[in-house]
Chain A
Amino acid sequence: MSIDVYVPRDASALSLGAEGVARAIEEEARAQRSQVRLIRNGSRGLYWLEPMVEVALPHGRWAYGPVKREDVASLFAADFLQGGAHPLSQGPTEEIPYLKSQQRLTSARVGVIEPTSIADYVAHGGYLGLKRALAMTPAEIVQAVLDSGLRGRGGAAFPTGIKWKTVLDQPPAQKYVTCNADEGDSGTFSDRMLMEGDPLALIEGMTIAGIAVGATQGYIYLRVEYPHAYAALNEALNAARQANYLGRDIMGSGRQFELEVRLGAGAYICGEETSMLESLEGKRGEIRVRPPLPAIKGLFGQPTVVNNVVTLASIPIILARGAAYYRDFGTGKSRGTLPLQLAGNVRRGGLVERAFGLSLRELLYDYGGGSASGRPIRAVQVGGPLGAYIPASQFDVAIDYEALTGIGALLGHGGVVVFDDTVDMAHMARYAMEFCAIESCGKCTPCRIGSTRGVEVIDRIIEGVERERNLVLLEDLCETMLQGSLCGLGGMTPFPVQSILKHFREDFHARTRH
């Protein structure tokens, strides 16, 4: 009997040498005549332990990590195929506290299954949601999504069911379901992990969306920086087609849905939904003025659902377990769970999926274990490059949409980037403006020109040139961009800058004029 050994194919695990570990395990197994079946799973998201190797023992999976290629011989010597003792042993995977305390709904299968195997997916509850959906009317499916309280996980947190209802209510026509997989926010990788580790969940979610709103064609708009996700998605799409989960007659229901992946080309703005639609049409990713909403006039002018990866991948479990099951996680108007991503200068970075309501402090210290450098954490940017920097005095804030808005911050796509006390916050403010200048689509003036002027003003403040006057000018510029920009790029770039002006103003006074 061969023993199942898991070595992730997740991009981050590969970036730390997982491929070499996998090859070394194969070679060593051959040399020792051990019967090993190597399975390339996604990552569990415990990135300080990657590459994390798991062995399937009769009573469950056992983890070893972080494993280097050079460790493989000693793992065999320690009889790791039977769970033998070794300095890298982490014990039963499910008992690792970081993982055990999580509430994984959307990412339940990520790191567990073989990502593109239909059999493994179905054995772990996959396609139960679609089966249920096929027995429901479109209005009932939309109602279930409404009842679940699911809000868009891409950042805007708009109720998903309302979007779907708007598309459903449009007269019959060619409608589309599009997935925004342009995960460009620094500090975020939950979409990537999902697409690499459980791509069929996204495919199933989009198929359900198509059946719910009457769309027969879907597109996944994937950023070009994610080649591993591109490969996993295409493998999974082929598997789904062959097994009749996509195509002209889904599961023998007579319903039709087809899906393809389109690659972006390195433009942050294409994560804005109207810009993404322009890009999907093969054009410059310039944003569209709304109205009309994409739900009414979207891709190629047709009614279109636009949802993020995590949003769509949360749909199967809502249909499979019921809206109430999902809604019972969370707090206030933030229902369900959110896969948070812990990144930057943090000791234990990774994926933490929990119900809304966890405090930022718990996330940073209980999960993260403090900074990677061992120095005090000074600032945390939540919600990507357009999110506010939060000072240590506010770490007790609860992680939900309303609580973060209450302190002038935002949750966005759930990325949390940690900085220690060596960070120069004036530099980070300058970077916020610089990033906006690089990535602006150019359609509106406050964003296109304002961001460049913002860099210049901050440079003058840092240099000590008419500092007080220029600080006033910067605040005024932030207000102009905030009020006058067409979309969130120009309209939210002021958030990190204003938060630095408010909480870390002393960093603008660090240098005296020379």
Chain B
Amino acid sequence: MSRQSLSDAQRESVLQVIAKHKSRPGPLIEILHGVQASLGFVPPGAVPVIAEGLNLSRAEVHGVVTFYHFFRDHPVGRHVVRLCQAESCQAMGASALAAHAKRRLGIDFHETSADGAFTLEPVYCLGNCACSPALMIDGDLLGRVTPQDFDDMVTAGQAHP
């Protein structure tokens, strides 16, 4: 199977998402959210399928996927950890926390740990600025995160896939 082609199940998911949102005004970003929610990422092979479904060019769809930091074109770990690196969190040690996180997981930002458990991403503000430094793991927000909290989170995340 080439990198560009979708599995039958993936194609079916993408088509379902398209059908669900197609008639709404300006649906492309909604569709990309839907695809990423069901497949975990937006496979490059989904781009032509979406383009055809919305009567757009592949370039237009590709352009939107790549414009937004939230969309990714490759699979990620079982948990996505987004560490806030914006000013408020920096004022409370976010850079040191990031360095700790990278050491602990043995990866840099935008990478996935060898055991496939964690993907580490930087994020610029989670709106938790009165409780800096902050991070979000999957949909859960954490505040006043210490290196010890981070390690506890990693231990828990490795135990519960």
Contact = CB atoms under 8 A, between A and B. Distances in A.
B127 A263 contact: no
A344 B129 contact: yes
A266 B101 CA distance: 22
Contact of B127 (A16, A188, A350, A385): A188
Counting chain A CB atoms within 10 Å of each CB, which of B27, B28, B63, B67 scores highest?
Answer: B67
Contacts of B123: 225, 266
A12 interface: yes
A344 B92 contact: yes
Interface residues of A, number: 62
A187 B129 contact: yes
Counting chain A CB atoms within 10 Å of each CB, which of B64, B91, B92, B124 scores highest?
Answer: B91
A287 interface: no
Interface stretch (A234-242, A313-321, A412-420): A412-420
Contacts of A11: 127-128, 141
Contacts of B132: 343-344
Contact of A224 (B70, B88, B92, B141): B70
Counting chain A CB atoms within 10 Å of each CB, which of B88, B131, B134, B142 scores highest?
Answer: B88
B66 to A, nearest CB: 9
Contacts of A279: 29
A265 B141 contact: no
B143 A438 contact: no
A185 B88 CA distance: 10
Given A11-B141, A343-B88, A438 B131 contact: no
Contacts of A343: 88, 129-130, 132
B143 A16 contact: yes
B89 A186 contact: yes
Interface residues of B, number: 42
A417 B87 CA distance: 7
B95 to A, nearest CB: 9
B144 interface: yes
B87 A385 contact: yes
B86 interface: yes
A186 B130 CA distance: 10
Interface string A415-439: 1011110010000100100010011
B47 to A, nearest CB: 14
Contact of A12 (B29, B82, B92, B130): B130
Interface string B50-78: 00000000001001100111110000000
A282 interface: yes
Nearest to B144: A16
A349 B131 contact: yes
B49 interface: no
Interface string B125-151: 111111110101001111110000000
Nearest to B29: A282
A186 B67 contact: no
A265 B69 contact: yes
Nearest to B134: A15
Contacts of A255: none
B33 interface: yes
A298 to B, nearest CB: 13
B29 A263 contact: yes
Interface in A335-368: 341-346, 349-350
Contact of A187 (B30, B88, B140, B142): B88
Contacts of A48: 130
B128 A15 contact: yes
A495 interface: no
A286 B68 CA distance: 11
A347 B99 CA distance: 25
Contact of B33 (A16, A265, A438): A265
Nearest to A280: B26
B90 interface: yes
A264 B124 CA distance: 14
Interface in A3-53: 11-12, 14-16, 45, 47-48, 50
B141 A431 contact: no
Contacts of B28: 282-283
A344 B68 contact: no
A262 interface: yes
A267 interface: yes
A188 B142 contact: no
B81 to A, nearest CB: 14
Interface in A253-302: 262-268, 279-286, 300
A187 B29 contact: no
B67 A342 contact: no
Given A186-B88, A344-B92, A300 B26 contact: yes
Given A12-B130, A417-B88, A431-B90, A267 B125 contact: no
A342 B67 CA distance: 31
Leading 9 A-B pairs by shortest Cβ distance? A349-B130, A343-B129, A186-B86, A282-B28, A265-B68, A266-B70, A15-B143, A344-B91, A282-B26
6 contacts: A12-B128, A48-B130, A186-B124, A262-B30, A265-B70, A267-B68
